[in-house]
Structure 1
Amino acid sequence: MERKMQTIRTRLRKMTEQLTASERKIAQAILADYPFSGLLPIQELADRTGVSSASITRFVGKIGGGGYQDFQRQLIGELKEGNKSPLDLKVRQAPAEPAFLVDYANRMTVILREMTETVSQEQFDQVCRLIADTSRNVFLLGGRVSNTLASFLSIHLRQIRSQIYHLPDNPEFWPEHILRMRKKDIVVLFDFRRYQPNLAALAEMISRKRQATIILITDKWMSPIARHSSEIIALPIDAGTAWDTVVGAHVFVEALIVKVSEFDWASTQARIKAWDEVRLDSPMPGEEPSSTIDLEGTNEA
């Protein structure tokens, strides 16, 4: 599978140590409201950063742009890429190989390698520390498809620690959860290409009203939620087919579950044991219902 061109955001982060003090100011301004600050007129960006227009032009050339207009065209291209549907992606899909299952598995190998190159160990550890901190409530939600990832994560986190809340699909019920959020709490949002507007509105509301820490799990083209997020996990999703893949996201989430469970394994172990003791298992066909709850004597006067 052909490697995809890096976004400007990725290039800026990788080149941080190579930038001068003035160039770092420009980069920080662009990353703080990415990609929208990079779409400002060059003089307005210069006024915001206190750096000359000529310095911005040199900076753009240094990070691989052919001038400020070309730099903005690249940013606009990233925005368009983030809104592409399966119908758009199908147009550029290469013909399927006869042994497509093997070919697709090989593509996923590339996706996973790219994921480990994109997400640093330091960022992964920081996200795990935040979610493992039992003094914080953790709220989760995803988009139309990615909510399955939020659900998968929340199911496992509930067995590891308490105060895990998966927001319902219906926005009418969101205010109850928003009002429960505190400044120290964590909100994990999943949002991938063809981003969901109501999730961006939710993130803006949380940021403005509750100041909770938002962790965004998205793709390299960046959900608009990024404007309100403290931590952004940008994962590869382009499999070269009409359908984006969540394999990288799923592996990231599974690794997160394992790591969080091990922050305090004694507590995790005790909670899983207690959880299992009160779980009401559905009987298999032909079996009698069973539970650990003693129902004897419930009809006594």
Structure 2
Amino acid sequence: MTETTLDPPRVREAMEASSDSLTPSERQLRSVILADYPFAALGPIQELADRANVSAPSISRFVSKLGYRGFQEFQQSLLSELKDSQSSPIELRRTPAGPASHRLTDYVTRAMALTRDLAVRMPPDQFDRICTMLGDPKRRVFMLGGRMSDAIAEFFLRHLRQIRSDVFHVPPDPEAWPEYLLRMKPRDVVVLFDFRRYDAKLAEFAAAGRVRKAQTIIITDPWITPAAKGATELVTVPIDSGTLWDSYVPAFALVEALLVPLAERDWDATRTRIEAWDTLRGRTPGEARP
């Protein structure tokens, strides 16, 4: 009788299986690896440590929790996965654009590929933790974005305000920040959006929030904003569409995906608040939109 040998779990699966035992710094390390999987972890250990703002010994403990005997064995497993793959997202994203008559279809296809990439790379447990943080009525929520990404923050909070109270849009002018920082209490939530061509001011606001013992959710790209240092939750969103412009479609998809469970978390309270909101806007609850 021949003994059946089970294939070892893939690194991504091992990271998801160990999610409950990871510390905040290890979860941040996991996010960095998933942001450019598997390439982020194929270089020197110190290079990965610097990128993730953790120590080399922290990486060693992390891979040990995943069941590997060391960083070298961890990398060998990643290389094995890479050899087994038939094509990489990088190759797909660098596909030349189609004929002019099909540019819309081409771009939508690229945006859809990026959004699917986000769904794969973001661990479900992290999504659930962020929902729990943002849905806790005892915590205030403060949002801010960069030069372009602040539009995503404002889109998010305009919806979130209809679901719950104490949601604040922090102005980009640092002179206005003391008003909001003085409102912060321990365990309040700071949500920052920052994509490449990063806004240096956001790192300052994130640091000031940590001094107030607020928890930070940083939503950034695979190259990771400087504001991510010490983040409670680090979310890396694919943005490279392979065209002249980065795509924010996955970031908006993430925001919309978060809004659904946040609204349904206590639907009776959400419905009551939306009805009151619409009444104050001068509309009868249930009235058809023009």
Q: How many residues align?
A: 235
Map 1:97-246 → 2, pairs under 5 A: 97-98=99-100, 99-207=102-210, 209-246=211-248
1:120 Cα deviation from its structure 2 partner: 2.5
What percent identity do the matched residue pairs reach? 39
1:269-284 pair list within 5 angstroms: 269-279=271-281
Q: Give 1:220 shift.
A: 1.9
Equivalent residue number for residue 264 of structure 2: 262
Larger radius of gyration: 1
Say which SS state the counterpart of residue 143 (structure 2) adopts.
strand
Secondary structure at the aligned position of 2:154 is classed as helix
- 1:61 positional shift: 4.3
CA contact (8 A) 1:131 1:138 kept: yes
Report what 1:251 is aligned to: 253
For each residue in 1:104-145, what CA deviation from the matched residue of structure 2 results, as whole angstroms up to 9, or x when unmatched?
Answer: 111122112111111232221221121111011011111111
The match for 2:29 among 28, 31, 40 is 31
Deviations 1:168-218 (A, max 9, x none): 1211101211121111211111111222111012112211x1111111111
Contact 2:15 2:30 in 1 (8 A): no
User: For residues 234-271 of structure 1, what are the alpha-carbon distances to aligned partners after superposition, in whole Å with 9 as ceiling and x for unaligned?
Assistant: 11111110101011111111121121111111111111
What one-letter code is carried by the residue in structure 2 that aligns with 1:225? Answer: A
Stretches of structure 1 that go unaligned for 5 or more consecutive residues are 1-10, 66-91, 282-301
Is the Cα–Cα contact under 8 Å of residues 32 and 227 in structure 1 kept in the other structure?
A: no
Q: Give the gaps of 5 or more residues in structure 2.
A: 1-9, 33-39, 64-68, 81-93, 284-290
State the SS of the aligned residue for 1:129.
helix
Backbone CA RMSD of aligned residues: 3.5
SS in 2 for 1:193: coil
8 Å CA contact 1:29, 1:37 repeated in 2: no
Using the TM superposition, give the Cα deviation of residue 161 of structure 1 relative to its aligned residue in structure 2, in angstroms: 0.9
CA distance in 2, matches of 1:277, 1:169: 31
2:288 matched residue in structure 1: none
* Contact 1:185–1:212 (CA under 8 A) maintained in structure 2: yes
Deviations, residues 25-59 of structure 1 (Å, cap 9, x unaligned): 9x949929969983379xx94699699xx955555
Q: TM-score, normalising length from structure 2? A: 0.70
